Chains A and B, each alone.
Chain A
Amino acid sequence: SQQGEEDPQALSIQEGENATMNCSYKTSINNLQWYRQNSGRGLVHLILIRSNEREKHSGRLRVTLDTSKKSSSLLITASRAADTASYFCAHPSAGANNLFFGTGTRLTVIP
């Protein structure tokens, strides 16, 4: 299976704390993406990092990519209750025609 794994599966933090989610994958990639899914809704793209990049920022989001370890992390700083959602990493595989999604991390931010 090319599907990635994410950890933790679930994360509960207090508002204002930072949340870190990790993703591991198995194949060579040219980019890795993070998506967010609110309950009962579709996925929303958050950020994309290319294989030649090591770190990328967007607002309160910070993504890192370590291609030697085939892993990525998503950091959400100064979390808010509205950040409560499931977060998925995804990557296209070379020669494949779709995105493979990880198993997701369910983040709960307690007000």
Chain B
Amino acid sequence: NAGVMQNPRHLVRRRGQEARLRCSPMKGHSHVYWYRQLPEEGLKFMVYLQKENIIDESGMPKERFSAEFPKEGPSILRIQQVVRGDSAAYFCASSPRQADDTSPLHFGNGTRLTVT
């Protein structure tokens, strides 16, 4: 049973370009979470999705950022018109149930976005 798969592992974009980060949850998991981590810091929640629905996007910037989790295919975190401040590691996690249950999250190895 493959774990959470994220790709690409590393992504370099110039300012103003778009970044698309992909996440395939563990088999059987329908809950997906995106987190952002700056160097030497903890994880900051961005968005929580279930299949075809955004449940909580309170941690996501209102502009330039969007996320989806379609019925078929991976979850996508999209950052439009990237700026240098978007440079960070973006982690996806999945679980079979909602996070406020006693269900741990399973993390991917992240996508490291560098904006030049």
Residues of A within 8 A of B (CB): 3, 30-31, 33, 35, 40-45, 48, 50, 88, 90, 92-104, 106
In the A-B complex, the 3 residue pairs with the smallest Cβ-Cβ separation, listed nearest first, are A42-B107, A92-B100, A45-B104
A42 pairs with B104, CB closer than 8 A? no
B107 pairs with A98, CB closer than 8 A? no
B52 interface residue per 8 A CB criterion: no
Within the complex, what minimum Cβ distance (angstroms) separates A86 from chain B? 9
**A41-B109, A42-B109, A43-B107 in contact; A48/B42 too (CB < 8 A)?**
no
Counting chain B residues whose Cβ lies within 8 A of the other chain, the interface size class is 20 to 34
B102 pairs with A99, CB closer than 8 A? no
A92 pairs with B104, CB closer than 8 A? no
**A41-B109, A101-B43 in contact; A30/B91 too (CB < 8 A)?**
no
Contacts of A94 in B (CB 8 A): 100
Within the complex, what minimum Cβ distance (angstroms) separates A69 from chain B? 21
Within the complex, what minimum Cβ distance (angstroms) separates B89 from chain A? 9
B99 pairs with A31, CB closer than 8 A? no
Q: How far is the CA of A97 from the CA of B95 in the complex (A)?
A: 12
**A48-B104, A98-B56, A99-B45 in contact; A42/B99 too (CB < 8 A)?**
no
Task: For B31, give the chain A residue with the smallest CB separation.
Answer: A97
Selected from A35, A48, A97, A106, the residue in CB contact (under 8 A) with B48 is: A97
Within the complex, what minimum Cβ distance (angstroms) separates A4 from chain B? 9
Interface core residue of B6, B59, B93 (most chain A CB under 10 Å): B93
**A42-B110, A98-B56 in contact; A103/B41 too (CB < 8 A)?**
yes
